[in-house]
Amino acid sequence: MLRKVELDEAIGMVLGHDVTKVIPGKFKGPIFRRGHIIKKKDIPELLSIGKEHIYVMELGKEEIHEEEAALRIARAISGSGIEFDQPSEGRVNLKATIPGLLKINVGLLEAINSIGEILVTTRHSNTVCSAGMEVVATKIVPLFTTQSKLNKIEKMCQREGKLVEVLPIKKRRVGVVITGNEVFKGRIEDKFGEVIKRKAEALGSVINQQIIVSDDVDLIAQAINEVKTKGSEVIVVCGGLSVDPDDVTVEGVEKSGAEIISYGAPVMPGAMFLLAMLKGIPILGTPGAVIYNPATIFDLIFPRVLAGEEIRREDIIKLGHGGLCLQCGKCSFPICPFGK
């Protein structure tokens, strides 16, 4: 346990917790660390930050200090692609060791935070992260907790899997099929190709073939199968996804032999998004919003596909919660961490 003592009586005793000092706009951090032996010269500094008492540690056999507890939680929840640092002020930060796609077991996260006095906070699952990015933090509320609570977390992670991991985003060959009479006949300049190329290269992939076809069901189907035959591991079909009579991209995808997983998505911009599978090859149908908006549903699904995740219709449906982008400019994704 921790015993509260007055400062004058604390000289020579071992501090049981970090003591934090805050200077608004200039500094926030521990001025004395757990384990520090209190000296007479420390008293004025402690008084200056409003400390007239401190805790000295006298833990029982079943009690675990906040720093050890945070380390045990970090070890229990960390999966592949994750590392963590030493505790500071009772908090342990978990970081990505590789660039990739962050995956959070949300159900397990909620279960752990329901235990009481245990805090685990994360970035959104499916965030594209860079190496070294902080993705999770954990600490406990009091200065110590019990063995039983930590044992419970460790058993939960053994049973249900790790709470956090980073999946590598693999380099894929991306085939692009651009539809539209206006582009095919040279009435307007294509804009899709440049956008898809930029987004693919930003994630480490390459465009291995691009075909422009007219609004013709047979030609669209033929083009899709051609880029597949040429080795495309992901196919992006651009345009022709609205309800206009000339837009026949959906029919062309179906005629290619692909299975439509989802047509239409509860995310704006990008509501007319299409997802299909052609003999194990994912097809992403991108509506015109991709040209005009810096982020759409394409930016949510494309990294997951490159990471090898199989996207189901249920995954698309779940995006409705938080899928309304207000185009505020604060983030680069439609599922906005400022509003969800």
Q: In the predicted model, what is the mean pLDDT of the chain?
A: 91
* 223: nearest Cα among 178, 263, 260: 178
Which amino acid does the sequence have at 277?
Answer: M
Residues 40, 85, single domain; the answer is no
Residues 189, 290, single domain; the answer is yes
Report whether pLDDT(331) > 70: no
Structural domain including 155 reads 63-168
Do 137 and 199 meet the contact criterion of CB atoms below 8 Å apart?
no
* 82: nearest Cα among 26, 122, 141: 122
Residues 160, 255, single domain; the answer is no
Secondary structure, 3-state, 259-299: EEEEECCCCECCCCCEEEEECCEEEEEECCHHHHCCCCHHH
Q: pLDDT per residue over 173-182, tens digit each?
A: 999 999 999 9
- Whether residue 325 lies inside any domain: the answer is no
Close Cβ partners of 245 (under 8 Å, ≥ 6 residues apart) = none
Q: pLDDT per residue over 56-95, tens digit each?
A: 776 677 888 888 999 999 999 999 999 999 998 889 999 9
Distance of CA 179 to the CA centre of its chain: 32
Calculate helix-pair angle for 297-306, 192-202, nearest 10 degrees: 50
Residues 300, 181, single domain; the answer is yes
Residues 213, 263, single domain; the answer is yes
* φ, ψ dihedrals at 192, nearest 5°: -65, -45
Do 36 and 15 meet the contact criterion of CB atoms below 8 Å apart?
yes
Residues 197, 157, single domain; the answer is no
Which pair of structure tokens corresponds to residue 280? 């194990």
Last residue of a domain, one of 15, 34, 57: 57
Residues 186, 313, single domain; the answer is yes
- Whether residue 335 lies inside any domain: the answer is no
Residues 184, 131, single domain; the answer is no
Residues facing 118 on adjacent strands: 140
pTM, entire model: 0.82
Report whether pLDDT(288) > 80: yes
Rama region for 191: left / alpha / beta (φ>0; ψ in -120 to 50; rest): alpha
Domain count within the chain: 3
